Amino acid sequence: VTGGPDPDCQGKYAYAGEHANKPYYSRDDNEWFIWWDVECFCWTISEELGVKTPHVWTKPDPVIGHYCPWPPAVGSPVVAAH
């Protein structure tokens, strides 16, 4: 994840398991997660797996691409495959 978001959710993410019948990913320090939200049919970056904490970014399928902030989150994180 890159793109200069605030708070800083940038870093390396790796496959960490399944959530809502889709893969989810966690940052190296397990402080941030990328997961599928079945309620909004979108990928979500948040501080807690499965919970839309105050700092959240979302986007529709696929997981790769630019995410949109939900205030108070700022910036547009970019998820790329490596």
Beta carbons of 37 and 49 less than 8 angstroms apart: no
> What's this model's pTM, rounded to 2 decimal places?
0.94
By the 10 Å C-beta count (0-12 exposed, 13-18 middle, 19+ buried), 70 is classed as middle
Instruction: Give yes or no for residue 82 having a pLDDT over 70.
Output: no
Going by pLDDT thresholds of 50, 70 and 90, the confidence category of residue 25 is very high
Q: How big, in percent rounded to 5, are the helix, strand and coil portions of the chain?
A: 0, 50, 50
